[in-house]
Amino acid sequence: MSEQLTPAEEQALQRAISQPLVSHIYTADPSAHVFNGKIYIYPSHDIEAGIPFNDNGDHFGMEDYHVLSMDNPDGSATDHGVALHVKDVPWAERQMWAPDAAYKDGKYYLYFPAKRADGIFQIGVAVGDQPQGPFTPEPAAIEGSYSIDPAVFEDQGEHYMYFGGIWGGQLQKYRNNEYGAANEEPADEQPALTARVARLTADMKQFAEAPRDVVILDENGQPLLAGDHDRRYFEGPWMHKYKGKYYFSYSTGNTHFLCYAVGDNPYGPFTYQGKILTPVIGWTTHHSIVEFEGRWFLYYHDSSLSKGITHLRSVKVTELHYDEDGRIKTIDPYGK
């Protein structure tokens, strides 16, 4: 992992297909939604926390959330300021990582992961009257929640939360929704770890069921294997629907791809289809996909504004296209 740009990366930046939406703060992990005819983006707010880099991601020391909005994806972004701070969340101590948001019955819900005082991630929810917040957190984390990267998808009146990330996200420590300190990633020839999905209760504040595995199958109908690092799930789930099909997309983590798989219902299984985005400058890659006025857009991030500092990222957007068979056309963020 580089903390400064190589000559090749410097050249790539000159070809970048999009620029940071905001430059006065660092933002990452954008979850984009259309509320009230505008696009609202719920990103992480990167800061320089002064923590050395490690594989657990401790250097990602984010403390709060800002909400951005855009009248359209071709325009400028407005920063609405701090919507929620970790000091206001009774159960959380640190590391406010990638959030998401949802709307139901006049209320907006901000879902977020954070570490408890014992260093274990859980997922919480905060409620607001406006899409930009401020949000008031529930006093306790969602019962039965764990790991990171909540993404909430609405389908036919029901809301489903997808979540989970390995390595620093701790997903490898869980089997059958139970934590085990001795658990690690499966061997290469075993089925890969998967994201989790759970339907939410009517009040949007709890799981209505035990989380299930989000199984991704290969072209032969077999689960992707743990050693298939170019295709297997690592973190950053997202769900969208296109022409009646369910598109589950995610990051492969250490191979730095955004990939997707397609299924027939919100629970899957999903069959791997291909790559959405090739690697960005910086170690992490994380995204969302949203439709606005008949066009589709990919919100993503890279470390271009910070000149390659992995934990100081910037949110970007580019248009996304499908072919006649519903396959997403792969995007190169630097226009090669």
Any idea which residues carry the catalytic annotation?
29, 235
| Alpha-carbon gap, residue 166 to 250, rounded angstroms | 12
Q: C-alpha distances in angstroms, 179 versus 91, 119, 183, 238?
A: 18, 13, 8, 24
DSSP per-residue string spanning 37-74:
TEEEEEEEEE--------TT-TT----EEEEEEESSTT
| Alpha-carbon gap, residue 153 to 159, rounded angstroms | 6
Q: How many CB atoms lie within 10 A of CB 104?
A: 15
* CB contact set of 249 (below 8 Å; sequence gap of 6+): 237, 238, 239, 240, 258, 259, 260, 261, 276, 287, 289
Backbone angles phi, psi at 153, to 5 degrees: -125, 130
